[in-house]
Amino acid sequence: MDADALLHPRGPLPAEVYWRRRAITFLVVVVLLALLIRSCGGDGDGDATLNAGGSQSPSAAAAPTTPSVAASSAAARPSPSPSPSPSRVEGAPCRDADLAVTATANAKDYAGGVRPRLTLVVTNQGPVSCSRDLGAALRELRVVSGTDRVWSSDDCAPGGDPQVVVLPAGGSRSFPVTWSRTRSRPGCPGGREPAAAGTYRVIGRLGTIERPGDVFTLRG
């Protein structure tokens, strides 16, 4: 291209028009070159970022994956079953909680001279049969009037051989005694006095299990 033509444009239009067009064309070319260069540079930065991110992805992925795997393993592992409560064995010794001890009188009111018939009842209220010593040495029927200890079956018959009994579930054993309506003391001393007319209560005991029983009245 003629250098003179570039520096001194010729044509029917004023020279400044040609210069303006050349300037605009030059600017467009510069902008296009800048965009092209920036585009090429951006691709390079993007690859570097992707590679950097790619090199970290296994570690990044491993962080959340490990707890998830552990949680899955914990969920898959069966929970330990609670230890079963030991079952009761038929004929095993009775626990105190298995036994109900009651003391009864065969009437509510006794006329003068009528002797009360008192009974100690032992009932197995457990789920299976069980065994217990029900010997006379462990049994007692006691008559009281308020805080006054009037009579006890142990005073004149305190001992006896063991008597181990198997009580079926819901089964009972009864031990009746006829009270002579006289007072007694430990050791069974003579000269026993008659019990006065009034209201009394019978108490039953088996070993360390003691329960209040029926209330009754003696008439003179």
Q: Tokens for 45?
A: 């930065």
| Structure confidence at residue 64 (pLDDT) | 47
| Structure confidence at residue 4 (pLDDT) | 52
Give the closest residue to 181 by CA, choosing from 143, 140, 214: 143
What are the average pLDDT values for consecutive 10-residue runs of the chain, which has 220 residues? Answer: 52 63 73 72 43 43 47 54 64 96 98 97 97 97 98 92 96 98 95 96 98 97
Q: What torsion, rounded to 10 degrees, do the Cα atoms 182, 186, 189, 194 define? A: -10
Sorted by where each begins, the domain ranges of the chain are 3-71, 92-218
| Structure confidence at residue 18 (pLDDT) | 61
Query: How far is CA 8 from each of CA 3, 13, 180, rounded to the nearest angstrom?
Result: 8, 12, 157
| Structure confidence at residue 30 (pLDDT) | 72
Q: What torsion, rounded to 10 degrees, do the Cα atoms 42, 45, 46, 50 define? A: 180
Pick the CATH number of 92-218 from 3.40.50.2300, 3.30.830.10, 3.30.365.10, 2.60.40.10: 2.60.40.10
| Structure confidence at residue 32 (pLDDT) | 78
pTM assigned to the model: 0.61
Bridge pairing between strands 164-167 and 172-178: unpaired
| Structure confidence at residue 174 (pLDDT) | 98
- The DSSP code for 185 is -
125 in Cβ contact with 170 (< 8 Å): yes
145 in Cβ contact with 198 (< 8 Å): yes
